[in-house]
Structure 1
Amino acid sequence: MTRKMRGVFRQGYKTPAARTPHKALRNAPCGAFCAIRYCRFCAGFPVCRKNGAAQKWKPKGLLLAEVNRMLKKKKVVSMVLALALTVGTVTPCLAASGESNGKSKLASGESPYTSSSVSSWTDESVLTGAWSLDWAKAKINGGAATVTDGTVVLNAKSTLTFDVPITENGTYKIAVKYCPKDAMYMDCLLDMTVNGTDDIASLPLLWADGYSVYGTDRKGNELVPEQISVPQPYLDFLADYHDTNMDDLTYTWEAGTQTVAMTPESQDVVLYGIYVCKETTLPTYKEYMAANAGKADAKDTKIIEAERYMVKSDSFIRASSQKNAALYPYDTYAKLLNILDGGTWSSAGQKILWEFEVDTDGYYQLGLRYLQNSDTNKPVYRTVEIDGSVPFAEWKTVAFDNTRTNKFDNKVLDVDGEPAKVYLTAGKHTLAMEVTIGPLEEIYDGIIKLMEDINAFGMDIQKLTAGQADVNRTWNMDYYMPNAVNDLLAFADRTDALYAKLEEISGANPSYADSLKYASETLRKLTKRPNQIPNKSDLISQGDNSATKYLGNVLSNLNTMPMAVDRFYVGNTEKLPSARSNIFRNTVESVKAFVWSFSADAAEGSYTATGANKSTELTVWINRSVPYVQVLQQIIDADYNSKYGTNIQLSIMPNEQKLVLANATKTNPDVVLSAGIGTPFNFAVRGAVKNLLEYDDFLSFYNQNYNLQALVPTTFNGGVYGATETQDFYVLFYRKDILKALNLSIPQTWDDVKYMMPTLLRYGMNFYIPLSVNTSYKNFAATNPFVTQNGASYVSADGSAAAFDTDPFLDAMTEMTELYEIYGMNSAVPSFYNSFRYGEIPMGVATFGTYIQLQMAAPELAGKWGIAMAPGTKQADGSILRYQPAAGTACMIFNNTTRSDEAWQFVKWWLSTDTQVKYAYLMQGTYGTEYRWNTGNLTAFSQMSYSQEDKETILKQWEQQKEITYHPANYMIERQTSDVWNGVVVDQESLVEEIDRATLVTNRELIRKLEEFGFCDKDGKMIRNYSMDAYADLQEKLAEVKAKEAGTN
Structure 2
Amino acid sequence: MELKALLRTRTVMSFVLAVVCVLGPTLSALADTSGTLPKASSTSGGAEAASNSPKNLIPTYAEVLDGWKKNGAKDNHTGSMTLSAASVTGKSANANVTVESYDGKNNVLVWRAKGDEWIEYDLDVAQGGLYTVEMSYHPFVDSRDRKPIALSLSVDGVSPYLEAKSLELYRHWKDKMPIVKDDNGDEIRPAANDISSWQTWELRDMSGAYLDPLLWNLTPGKHKIRLAGSDPMALESLSFKAPVPVADYEAVKKEQPKNIAPVVADPIVIEAEQVGWKNDSSITLAFDNDIANSPYVRGKISYNTLDGSHWSSKNQEISWSFDVPAAGFYKIALRQQQSLVSNRSSFRTIMINGKVPFSELKAYRFPYATGWKGRELANEKGDAYQFYLEKGSNTISMRVTQAPVISAAAEMDKAIATLTKLSTDLRTLTGGVDDKNRTWDLKKDLPGFVEQLQELNDNLATTREQLITINGRSDALSQGLVTVSKDIETLLKYPDEIPYDAGRMNKMQGKLADLVKQLSSQPLQIDRIFIVPVQSSFPKMESTFTEKIEGSIINFFNSFRSKEVSEKTDDQVLNVWMNRGRDYVNLLQSMANESFTPQTGIKVKINLLKDDKLLLLMNAAGMAPDVGIGLPHDTPFDYAIRNGVYDLKQFPDFDEVYKQFAPGAWMPYFYDGGYYGVPETQTFSVMFYRKDILQNLGLSVPDTWEDMYRMLPVLQQNGMNFTPVEHSIFMQMHGLEYIKQDGSRTGLNTDKGFEAFKEWTDLQNKYGIDQRSDNFVQHFRDGSYPIGIADLNGYLQLTVAAPELNGVWGVAPIPGVKQADGSVARWTGGNGGDQFASSIFKHTKKPQESWEFLKWWMSEEVQEKYGLDLETLNGVTFRWYTSNVDSFVKLPWKEEDLQAILEQWRWFREVGKVPGSYYMERELTNAWTRTVIGGENYRTSLETAIKEVDREIQRKMQEFHFVDANGQLVRSLNLPVITKPWEGVDKYVKK
TM-score using structure 1 length: 0.75
Shift of 1:701: 4.3
Aligned match for 2:840, one of 880, 893, 912: 893
Distance in 2, matches of 1:998 and 1:462, equals: 29
Name the counterpart of 2:98.
146
Q: Secondary structure at the match of 2:573?
A: coil
Q: Deviations over 1:107-131 (max 9, x none)?
A: xxxxxxxxxxxxxxxxxxxx99751
Name the counterpart of 1:194.
155
Name the counterpart of 2:205.
240
CA contact (8 A) 1:727 1:934 kept: yes
Distance in 2, matches of 1:820 and 1:713, equals: 30
Distance in 2, matches of 1:664 and 1:713, equals: 24
Q: Deviations over 1:288-333 (max 9, x none)?
A: 4424233333222211111111111111112212121122111231
Q: Does 1:721 align with 2:684?
A: no
Distance in 2, matches of 1:1034 and 1:486, equals: 54
- Counterpart of 1:344 in structure 2: which amino acid? H
Provide closer, same or farther for how the CA distance between residues 454 and 362 of structure 1 changes in structure 2, counting only shifts above 3 A: same
Aligned match for 1:882, one of 826, 831, 834: 826
Q: Deviations over 1:346-374 (max 9, x none)?
A: 22411100011122222222222222235
Q: Secondary structure at the match of 1:724?
A: strand
Provide closer, same or farther for how the CA distance between residues 504 and 955 of structure 1 changes in structure 2, counting only shifts above 3 A: same
- Counterpart of 1:474 in structure 2: which amino acid? D
Q: Secondary structure at the match of 1:631?
A: helix
Name the counterpart of 2:134.
175
- Counterpart of 1:667 in structure 2: which amino acid? M
Matches of residues 442-453 of structure 1 in structure 2 within 5 Å? 442-449=407-414, 451-452=416-417
Distance in 2, matches of 1:965 and 1:566, equals: 51
Name the counterpart of 1:587.
549
Shift of 1:791: 2.0
CA contact (8 A) 1:385 1:431 kept: yes
Distance in 2, matches of 1:269 and 1:433, equals: 25
Distance in 2, matches of 1:210 and 1:428, equals: 21
Provide closer, same or farther for how the CA distance between residues 929 and 134 of structure 1 changes in structure 2, counting only shifts above 3 A: closer
Q: Does 1:397 align with 2:348?
A: no
Name the counterpart of 2:608.
652
Distance in 2, matches of 1:689 and 1:527, equals: 58
Distance in 1, matches of 2:736 and 2:334, equals: 66
Name the counterpart of 1:425.
390
Shift of 1:607: 2.4
Name the counterpart of 1:938.
885
Name the counterpart of 1:909.
856
Aligned match for 2:974, one of 1027, 1037, 1049: 1027
Distance in 2, matches of 1:432 and 1:926, equals: 21
Name the counterpart of 1:110.
none
Provide closer, same or farther for how the CA distance between residues 597 and 455 of structure 1 changes in structure 2, counting only shifts above 3 A: closer
Name the counterpart of 2:522.
561
**After alignment, is 381-390 or 640-649 more displaced?**
640-649
Distance in 2, matches of 1:667 and 1:557, equals: 42
CA contact (8 A) 1:466 1:762 kept: no
Q: Secondary structure at the match of 1:354?
A: strand
CA contact (8 A) 1:467 1:765 kept: no
Provide closer, same or farther for how the CA distance between residues 413 and 1013 of structure 1 changes in structure 2, counting only shifts above 3 A: same
Distance in 2, matches of 1:572 and 1:148, equals: 48
Q: Secondary structure at the match of 2:604?
A: coil
Name the counterpart of 2:790.
846
Q: Secondary structure at the match of 2:117?
A: coil
Q: Does 1:678 align with 2:634?
A: yes
- Counterpart of 1:868 in structure 2: which amino acid? A
Q: Deviations over 1:505-545 (max 9, x none)?
A: 4555566424455666777888888x859859959x93334
Q: Does 1:254 align with 2:224?
A: no
Provide closer, same or farther for how the CA distance between residues 664 and 467 of structure 1 changes in structure 2, counting only shifts above 3 A: closer
Name the counterpart of 2:817.
873
Distance in 2, matches of 1:200 and 1:836, equals: 17
Aligned match for 1:412, one of 358, 362, 377: 377
Shift of 1:556: 3.5
Q: Does 1:281 align with 2:245?
A: yes
Shift of 1:231: 3.7
CA contact (8 A) 1:973 1:1002 kept: yes
Matches of residues 426-441 of structure 1 in structure 2 within 5 Å? 426-441=391-406
**After alignment, is 439-448 or 175-184 more displaced?**
439-448
Shift of 1:707: 2.1
Provide closer, same or farther for how the CA distance between residues 225 and 717 of structure 1 changes in structure 2, counting only shifts above 3 A: same
- Counterpart of 1:869 in structure 2: which amino acid? P
CA contact (8 A) 2:685 2:790 kept: yes
- Counterpart of 1:135 in structure 2: which amino acid? A
Q: Deviations over 1:759-795 (max 9, x none)?
A: 7777887654454xxxxxxxxxx4x433332223244
Shift of 1:945: 3.3
Q: Does 1:923 align with 2:870?
A: yes
- Counterpart of 2:665 in structure 1: which amino acid? A
Distance in 1, matches of 2:343 and 2:613, equals: 45
> Between Structure 1 and Structure 2, whose CA radius of gyration is higher?
1
CA contact (8 A) 1:187 1:202 kept: no
Q: Deviations over 1:559-601 (max 9, x none)?
A: 3221111111112254223332122222223333444556xxx
Shift of 1:262: 0.7
Distance in 2, matches of 1:389 and 1:752, equals: 54
Distance in 1, matches of 2:558 and 2:491, equals: 62
Distance in 2, matches of 1:673 and 1:954, equals: 25
**After alignment, is 341-350 or 199-208 more displaced?**
199-208
**After alignment, is 676-685 or 381-390 more displaced?**
676-685
RMSD of Structure 2 on Structure 1 (CA): 4.1
Shift of 1:382: 1.7
CA contact (8 A) 2:856 2:862 kept: yes
TM-score using structure 2 length: 0.79
Provide closer, same or farther for how the CA distance between residues 976 and 279 of structure 1 changes in structure 2, counting only shifts above 3 A: closer
Q: Does 1:131 align with 2:94?
A: no
Q: Does 1:342 align with 2:308?
A: yes
Higher RCO (C-alpha 8 Å, min separation 6):
2
- Counterpart of 2:233 in structure 1: which amino acid? V
Distance in 2, matches of 1:633 and 1:767, equals: 44
**After alignment, is 416-425 or 136-145 more displaced?**
136-145
Q: Does 1:379 align with 2:363?
A: no
Provide closer, same or farther for how the CA distance between residues 169 and 908 of structure 1 changes in structure 2, counting only shifts above 3 A: same
Q: Secondary structure at the match of 1:930?
A: helix
- Counterpart of 2:147 in structure 1: which amino acid? M
Distance in 1, matches of 2:235 and 2:90, equals: 13
Matches of residues 34-433 of structure 1 in structure 2 within 5 Å? 131-133=82-84, 135-141=86-92, 145-149=97-101, 150=106, 151-154=108-111, 155=113, 156-181=115-140, 182=142, 184-198=145-159, 199-241=164-206, 244-245=209-210, 247-265=212-230, 267-289=231-253, 290-300=255-265, 301-373=267-339, 378-402=344-368, 404-414=369-379, 418-433=383-398
Q: Deviations over 1:955-982 (max 9, x none)?
A: 2211111233433453466666666656
Distance in 2, matches of 1:552 and 1:322, equals: 32
Q: Secondary structure at the match of 1:892?
A: strand
Distance in 2, matches of 1:1003 and 1:566, equals: 60
Shift of 1:410: 2.5
Name the counterpart of 1:732.
687
Provide closer, same or farther for how the CA distance between residues 732 and 356 of structure 1 changes in structure 2, counting only shifts above 3 A: same
Provide closer, same or farther for how the CA distance between residues 453 and 247 of structure 1 changes in structure 2, counting only shifts above 3 A: farther
Q: What is the aligned residue count?
A: 885
- Counterpart of 2:552 in structure 1: which amino acid? S
CA contact (8 A) 1:680 1:689 kept: yes
Name the counterpart of 2:55.
none
Distance in 1, matches of 2:429 and 2:308, equals: 48
* Structure 1: segments with no counterpart, 5+ residues: 1-126, 772-781, 1039-1049
CA contact (8 A) 2:138 2:197 kept: yes
Distance in 2, matches of 1:690 and 1:926, equals: 34
Name the counterpart of 2:736.
792
* Structure 2: segments with no counterpart, 5+ residues: 1-77, 985-991
Distance in 2, matches of 1:510 and 1:966, equals: 47
CA contact (8 A) 1:349 1:434 kept: yes
- Counterpart of 1:921 in structure 2: which amino acid? L
**After alignment, is 441-450 or 316-325 more displaced?**
441-450
Q: Secondary structure at the match of 1:239?
A: coil
Paired-residue identity, %: 28
CA contact (8 A) 2:207 2:804 kept: no
Shift of 1:920: 2.0
